[in-house]
Structure 1
């Protein structure tokens, strides 16, 4: 005779409870201690202990009331450039729809933003300022682009220049639109990055730009990274993939004025 679901939950060992919580994190991104305690028929104190242990293992970040999954985007740029290429191309096609002639575009480093550089049409009549050598290379010798490459130190595994030189140059720019790179995005926790210098440069880009746009692959949604960049409400345009569930789209629309879905 099969055991009921509740009997199975009641009989969970601590390590099985922790594995179930990690599964919920990977499925939903954010979990709430109170909801998990009710589902697992245990105390919030026990759930918080499990979340603390998972955070110490690097799986999640503790936030008020629960935890967020750590973004999987903490990989070397060379690896990320070859991941989800078709998905990033679809996001890029949607993202470039908001670009207008004669704008100054600030293009942050990152593999999705390299796809945006590719997707910009010839004769776009744009000035593109970027800290990404790869994105700059995609625009060179194409008609309709004035390309300004931001200098500075490029750390091992990074996708673009960082440090004092890059920061000073960004602070001197007044861009119409910035395509900001994001390692993680959550409606409550906002935009985040894995590197302190990268986060500082991204904050400068936000201050130097009239409007902020982010194109995100689904695995970065409802996730966390160590260094805060900007609140979710600072993002004017958020481009997401078609597979994002309707409930998650609704939570994004509650904090961002323009959530646009990239169709396949």
Structure 2
């Protein structure tokens, strides 16, 4: 049986939104497209700033952000939204993306390693590049859950390699699950190169898989220092599973195209922000 009072209320809301959109001077689809473009350009948007720019209400902007989040474009956060990280694709794809840029990051990241250290090396295409960038005769113990990283170190002098076992997650191309977690919890590392699917100064480090996020948290706990080398498209983005706060990162390596203003935001929460220049 039709609830006429509820129907009338809903129709009234629709008419109210239509009138508001007409006053705003932009069709809802146009405004939503502009918000998505802003998200892709900046990573983070604030509802109050968008409302002022589009001369509309924050309620209207939040409605657009909810719709974009439902479509998988962003994650709602306090006051606005973050772009979803593009790193959710399988590792087999990421290994062939931005190879030169990752190699540049890897050289700078490898420069902080010191002889005799125990290094925890997480999965990720940038971390595989770091494995390749470590110098021969480095006198390091490298503990990794990444078969790809292990392959870059085999038959090279100066490395004692420990490959963490367990179920291999295809999307991450590395060991995960209970077996890998137990092994990581028994390690005391000097330095961890942590793989980050997404990084934001306020939201911290995040991952796309729950088990992977749990293993990354264990790596942070097992290490005296944490380092992350991150390509620019992962900055100011979100992923579903929380790993650690940004302040847990001791060394952050970013690309040269990161603006001075954004570097200042990152430096406010990370002890050392280093720029990889080609």
Same fold by TM-score greater than 0.5:
yes
Residue 260 (structure 1) aligns with: 274
CA distance in 2, matches of 1:33, 1:263: 34
* Corresponding residue SS for 1:158: coil
Q: Deviations over 1:119-141 (max 9, x none)?
A: 00000000000000000011011
- Aligned with 1:58 (options 72, 90, 94): 72
Unaligned 5+ segments in structure 2 are 1-22
- Aligned with 2:160 (options 137, 146, 150): 146
1:43 to partner: Cα distance? 0.2
Q: Map 1:1-264; keep pairs closer than 5 Å.
A: 10-264=24-278
* Corresponding residue SS for 1:192: strand
1:157 to partner: Cα distance? 2.5
Q: Which structure: larger Rg?
A: 2
* Corresponding residue SS for 1:154: strand
CA distance in 2, matches of 1:260, 1:205: 22
TM score, norm. by length of structure 2:
0.91
Unaligned 5+ segments in structure 1 are 1-8
Q: Deviations over 1:208-239 (max 9, x none)?
A: 00000000000000000000000000000000
1:10 to partner: Cα distance? 4.3
* Corresponding residue SS for 1:73: helix
CA distance in 1, matches of 2:225, 2:117: 11
CA distance in 2, matches of 1:175, 1:155: 23
TM score, norm. by length of structure 1:
0.96
1:159 to partner: Cα distance? 1.8
1:12 to partner: Cα distance? 1.1
Number of aligned positions between the proteins: 256
1:262 to partner: Cα distance? 0.3
